[in-house]
Each structure stands twice: as structure tokens, then as C-alpha cells.
Structure 1
């Protein structure tokens, strides 16, 4: 490929649409071959097969104290897109789950059947446009499709699917992956929920936030472990914002008001959500009483930035610490070779660094600083330690883009990094050439409780090898991630997904 800005077409030569033996990704729908779009091909290609598979083949040995389910949500477009426009975030939500019990593994894959999916399934075609627009305000519910494909959490005996643009949460049976209906907290929830709402692993309480284009621009609330809404507090902001995550400690929630948001006038006039980064506006973080005992928010200012994902947050004396992946510039320069996909590709190539923010609740002081300059994201911690001090963060490594290939300019994960926040030391495991990984929940070992060794746990990851289209689940020991302790073979290719959760076996098989 020359160094000019000639647009790249999706071809066998520049993106892994085919395995080396010439075979395309299995289970991909036929309509994708009419699309010059890297996020519909290769490891990103949709897989529209729903299936179960028992007693999976294992290389190595599954630990007997690894008991529960690893569930991933993510896009898998079922029908040809409206207006032939597709954004990577548009795909229909598909859940993939692997269950571990007594040293054996079972796999299950199902589409999430939320309201929009059911309407389109009956029609046999796509009806709602996606993020690439144009938005259609004549459609019911949402002017673009609420795909609910971003996040998956566990609360009150159900999995809950969540959308990053704040949509309707849907309940899913954690054992069958069958969608059972919209979660409305016993009729008390009157608005949407954003992705990255949190469930406390020790109490089962749900802490959520929501954002929208009309006042109140944000809300924060909580439901108990049985699904009873306890409070829902309006949060005053200067206008609509696009927060993606929140922090949670034992006594506080940390809300994000960041200077990266869309122009409401353009949305109303042209039906497009155009984001802008306002470098002259500070980032703000609002500490609010976690339990809603007060609606007062203590705001702290920091250097302008954007944050997709928080690793963890905790308290030490008067200080509240938050670890997350920071973007200094969420609007990188476009590459002309991406042609009609330039904006989408540029957003996916943003740089993220592990970073620490500290807020003093007595003095109002903010301290902040970078932990590591490596480009990593999707940070996770031991599933029993959310909101409590953790020493380790487990992040996905984003490779440096390579010139000349569309594949090199699509954001993928090619390795796992473990950060030691006390010593600064790191461990890493590289998945291999052409092998792509997923977010890695750190599954606490069965029987471990509060105060247990943080590394008595197992990071688990789905990988897909674009050389063979073979997918695996890798199991690591949290004490040493330099090599997996087991590899579980998945019968069919898993397309690249978004966020994941771990459900303890004690919750799944309580009876």
C-alpha cells in the first residue's frame, strides 16, 4: 500500500475476511459480502446462530473452585442495515455465556429479544436506523435502534442488558439466556438506564445513572437486592452530556460530567449526533452519598478529558480514589484512507492510558496523574472487590495501528495486562498474531469472600483466531497471567463483543 490517501476497499489482501485456507468466517449472513465495511467482516462478522453445547473440550484443567458463568454482550447484526449504513455499535445484542461447574464447561449463545428486536424479527427486516443515521424521530421508542448491546450485569436473580446511550434495561434468565422482559423495578423506574450501572457484589444492591437530552440531564438512583427502588435523584448539569461510566465506593458514587458531548441544535436540525471536545472546559467529578441520604453533590474539577471505563474506586481517610482509562483527546485526526468510514475508524483508534484521580472530601482538592502510558482499556478487578481497595487492574492491550491495512486501524485487543498499582510492575500475555480477545472479568474463586486474597481469582477471556476462525475461552490464575492454565474450545466462532460479567455459582445454582 502506498503512503497516499487512496481509500482502502475491504479485500482479502488487507483485512482478515478469510482464513489462510480461503474460508470465510462461518455463520456469517450472506448480505455482509455486499458491504465495504471492516466491522462487518473478519472477526467482527455477525454470527446469527443460536445454540447450546455441553461438556466442552478442554486443554489443561479447569479449576474446581471456578464455579459460575462468564457472560459477554456485544453486537451481531441480524438484518441488512437501514439505508445501508452501519456503525460498529449498531449490531443486535447477542449474549454468549460459558458455564463452569465441577471442572466442566458448557456454552450457550442467544440473541437478546428486546422491544426493537422483536418488531424487526416479525417484520423480517431492519426498521430502525443506527448510529450512522439519519435519526428517524417518527419511529416509536427511539429515533435510532436501542440495541441494548453494550453491557451486561447481574441483579436480583437476572442478567440485565444495558445500552451505552441509556436505553431500556432487559432481564435475561442467567441459565437459559432467554429474555424475560423489561426491567422496571416493580413499576417504579420511569426512565432509561445507562450501561455501566453497578451491582454491589456483597449486598446485591443496584446503583445506576441515566442521562438524556432534556432536563434533568442526569439522574442517580439505587434499588435494593430484591429490586425495590429506594431513591432516584435528579443531577443538575449545564446541558446534555454523554457519560459512559461511574465510580462506586463504600460511601460514595462518583458521577462524570466530561467536556465531550454532542451539539443539541445539530441533532434537532439534522438528525445527527455530532460530538465535540471542549478543551477549555474542565472535567468534573461529582461525589454523592451512595445511599441517597443527601442529594448534595460535591464537584471536583480536573484536567479536560474523556473516560470510557473505570477500573475501580475506593476510600482512604478523607481521600476518594478512582482508577480508570483516560483519553487526553477523544477526537483524533481522521485518516483519509478510511474514506466513508473515517469518523468511525478515528473514534475507535483513540489512545487510552491508565490514570488515577484522587478527591479530598474535606478540602476539595483534586490530585491526578498517569499510571502507565500503554494504550489499554476495558479494565477489570476481582469481582468481589468492587468499591473496595484493589491492588491489581486487568486491562486489555490495544495494538499500535499498522499502516496499510484496515484491520490495523480497527480497534482490537491483542493481549492482557495486569497492573500492580502498588509497585508499578506489570505482567502481560499476548494472544498471538491475528488472535483477538475480549474483556476479562476476574472471577473470584468459589468460597472466597470479603478480605480474601485478591489474587484468589481467575481472569477469563474469549478469543477468536482469524487464522482458523477457532474461538476459545482462556482461564488465567490472577496471581500469574503470563500463561493460561486452561483453554476451552468453543464449537463455533465468537464475533468480537463488548462488555462482560461474572455470575457466581452460588447465585446461579443456589437451590
Structure 2
């Protein structure tokens, strides 16, 4: 059964979904592992109306989900987040709760923390809590402990369970390092002084450091004056550097290390090795330069930066020459030495920015890369890794991703068994509706 809730007759140059739907008991091809008990989620921009500046990142946030339990797919549904703008277009009340700043479009990521599923966004919006049916519950400020905005790409410490984040602002000091405890309250807030506001989608976390990416995509007053909802552009004069902030330190303790100009949307992982910090990242040589509305002007690659904390120097090594993005690891080893990196192979032409025709598995111990090729005309976005069981070896489990058939635009949730990574999927859940590639995907255990 497909139940339609709203319809939009407006058209956009961006691929988009025009209605909210519920698909009950979608079919399953193959055998879904019965151990997969939870919801696969994706989130991304999906404009309700044609945006003023057509910026790739500016569309209204939409969440898609597929609930799996007992070897069955129980439902697929999608929902727009009830931001002020979306609620106004839909003729509904916006999400309750305190907002911060001009932007509440949390279309960038999904995390689960302290019993809440949170939609997050770049540019400082406060998190939007969503329920198990993907409906927007409220904006949250972590029980009154979040003074400003939040971040799109926080990280859990797998040892403590705390959530760490670096938030951005257009007001000095321009960045803040936050630690949210296991009860969902901010317990630590450290200002990070920057030269000017920058786009910082993510940061890295090691045992002793939070690592800041101060890179040359900066706030553009001209773009803001022109009405852009994402007013950032490449700036050759800004430079590039890493900030090594001790997790128990303050602003004066940050060690700044210079880099060659580049941009990182997505670090892979970071860990400490003696006096060195090793960072694996997806590095873009240049973004938001020739076209400020789309980032895909230079091919991103998997590289390793080894930082000497004593000498303040960086050595760069390319780990793979394949064009790729959306890196994923086994989160149980986050912040420590990792062996496997999963990623989405992109079309080198740059036509598709959020998806590609294959999934990759890099074995950093052997230097081998395995490729799972999709059927012709199909592309996939970011995958999610789920361990086979809690004590399974690193990288042993399932890789879930949403595949789009280019002929129909319809989505299909694909489940790969990493024991047969290059073979046929263990299972697939075809859907009779479009599911465009979003920014990020997540797996939420249980109800």
C-alpha cells in the first residue's frame, strides 16, 4: 500500500521527490539477515519549491527510512523535516523548541544519541528530533545546555559513548568544540578562534585530540547579500591548516599545522601513533570555486596525512587514485587504527555528486581494493556498515546502501555480506518510489 500525504506541483532543476509516502511491507529479494533489526535512514536536500539560488546543499531536508525486522521489510516512508520554511509551504505548524540563527534546515546528517534520533545540518541549526515514524518532534537544545547552534557531523567516542562536535558560526570565535554527555547534555564547551568563518562539515577525534579543519572555503558576504542560503566560496587567500586541540585543553593549547590548499567534507578516521597523528581523509583539491553552487569541480581521492606533533609538519600519501567519496568504517574502531575503508566510487566526469556506480572496500593492511559493481545505469550513495555481531572482527558484517535505478528513478535498499563483497547482494528491498541519494545514511537499532 502506498499512502500519499502531500503533493507539490512545483518543479526544480534538482532531482527531487514530490510527495510523502508510506509503502507497507515492501517485497524482499533474497534473504534479509534476521540479525538486522532496525531502520536504515538517509537524509538530504529535497526542495519543496524551487530554491532561489539552486544551491545543491540548500534543499529542504527530507528523511527516508526502511524498517527491517525478522528477515522482513516492514515499511518504507519519507518525511520532510518540519522546519519553519517547510511548515509554511505545507501549511502546518513548524517544529516546536528554541531555534538559533537564521537557518533551521537540518538536512545534512542523522545520529542517535541519548535515546533521541537527531537530524543535523551545516551552518549552525539546532538538531531536529524525529520519532520512529520519521515525523519531526521538536528542535532541541540538549535540555537548555546548548547555547548556540550545532554541527552536521559529530562523532561518538566508542569508549565513553559521549558525542563530540565542532560547531560553526558567523560570529567570533567562529567555531566551538562541544562534548555532549551520555545523558544528552553539553558538559564541555571550548571556543576555537579562527581567522574568519569557514565551511567545516566535519572534524576528527582521536584518543587525546579533537582535530579542526580550517580550510579555504569561507563565508562570502557577497553571496550572503545576494540571498544565497549557503554563502560560502573558495578563497585562495585563506590558506589551509589543521588545529590539534587537546580534548582536555583550551584555545591556547591548539597546535596549528599548515597544509597544502584542499577541502575535506569527510574524514575517514584518525588515530595516534606515538608522537604522530594519522588522518585518512577524502581530499578535494578545489571546491566551490568556478561554480559556487556545486562542489564537484576536482576529483576527490583517499589520502593519508601523518602529522608530527613535535615538529608541526604533515606528510601526505595517496592511498587510492580512484575517484570516491562517502567513506565509512567499522565504528567500533573509530579513533584507533583501522584496517578497512568502505567508500562510494564516483563517476570521474563529475555528473553525479552524491552517488556513484560502485562500492569500494579498501584493505589498508594489504593495499587491496575490492569493487562491488552495480548493474548498468544504477548508482548508490553513502553506505552503512553493521557488524555481524558485537564481537565480530573488524569489517565483518553487512553493508547497506540505497541504490537508484537510473531508468526509473526508483530506490532499492541493497544489503551486501562483506564475506562476499564483490558477489551478488544477500538481499534487496525494491521500492516503487524515487529515493534520491542524500548526504548521509545511518542505521538505528531496534524501534
Same fold (TM over 0.5): yes
The residue aligned with 1:472 is 412
Please state whether the residue corresponding to 1:348 is helix, strand or coil: coil
The residue aligned with 1:481 is 421
CA displacement at 1:82 relative to structure 2: 5.6
Q: Which whole-Å deviations, capped at 9, do the CAs of 1:68-103 have from their partners, x for residues lacking one? A: 22211112222x2365x4333222211112223222
CA change 1:62–1:383 in 2 (3 A) is farther
Relative contact order: is structure 1 or structure 2 higher (C-alpha 8 Å, sep ≥ 6)?
1
CA contact (8 A) 2:23 2:77 kept: yes
Poorly superposed stretches of 4+, deviation over 6 Å: none
The residue aligned with 1:103 is 71
The residue aligned with 1:162 is 120
Which is helix-richer, 1 or 2? Answer: 1
CA contact (8 A) 1:163 1:194 kept: yes
Instruction: List aligned pairs for 1:379-398, cutoff 5 A.
Output: 379-398=327-346
CA change 1:82–1:477 in 2 (3 A) is closer
The residue aligned with 2:326 is 378
CA displacement at 1:359 relative to structure 2: 1.7
CA contact (8 A) 2:64 2:78 kept: yes
CA displacement at 1:279 relative to structure 2: 4.2
> Could you tell me how far apart the structure 2 residues matched to 1:324 and 1:105 are?
34
Aligned with 1:238 (options 176, 195, 198): 195
CA displacement at 1:240 relative to structure 2: 1.4
The residue aligned with 1:49 is 20
CA contact (8 A) 2:384 2:441 kept: yes
The residue aligned with 1:301 is 258
> Could you tell me how far apart the structure 1 residues matched to 2:135 and 2:273 are?
42
CA change 1:206–1:430 in 2 (3 A) is same
CA RMSD of aligned residues (A): 2.6
The residue aligned with 1:152 is 110
The residue aligned with 2:83 is 114
Gaps of 5+ in 1: 1-26, 125-139, 334-341, 403-407
Please state whether the residue corresponding to 2:286 is helix, strand or coil: coil
The residue aligned with 2:287 is 330
> Could you tell me how far apart the structure 1 residues matched to 2:258 and 2:30 are?
49
Larger radius of gyration: 1
Aligned with 1:221 (options 178, 186, 194): 178
Gaps of 5+ in 2: 1-5, 94-98
> Could you tell me how far apart the structure 1 residues matched to 2:227 and 2:40 are?
38
> Could you tell me how far apart the structure 2 residues matched to 1:82 and 1:305 are?
28
Please state whether the residue corresponding to 1:116 is helix, strand or coil: helix
State yes or no: 1:66 paired with 2:41.
no
CA contact (8 A) 1:258 1:304 kept: yes
CA change 1:212–1:108 in 2 (3 A) is same
> Could you tell me how far apart the structure 2 residues matched to 1:97 and 1:274 are?
30
Please state whether the residue corresponding to 2:366 is helix, strand or coil: coil
Please state whether the residue corresponding to 2:86 is helix, strand or coil: helix
> Could you tell me how far apart the structure 2 residues matched to 1:147 and 1:473 are?
26
CA displacement at 1:166 relative to structure 2: 2.2
CA contact (8 A) 2:287 2:296 kept: no
CA contact (8 A) 2:196 2:218 kept: no
How many equivalent pairs are there?
A: 434
CA change 1:141–1:183 in 2 (3 A) is closer
Q: Which whole-Å deviations, capped at 9, do the CAs of 1:480-501 have from their partners, x for residues lacking one? A: 4213221122242212211111
Instruction: List aligned pairs for 1:88-487, cutoff 5 A.
Output: 88-106=56-74, 107-122=76-91, 146-173=104-131, 175-264=132-221, 266-267=222-223, 270-272=226-228, 275-279=232-236, 282-290=239-247, 292-295=248-251, 296-331=253-288, 333=290, 343-345=292-294, 347-401=295-349, 408=351, 412-448=355-391, 452-483=392-423, 484-487=425-428
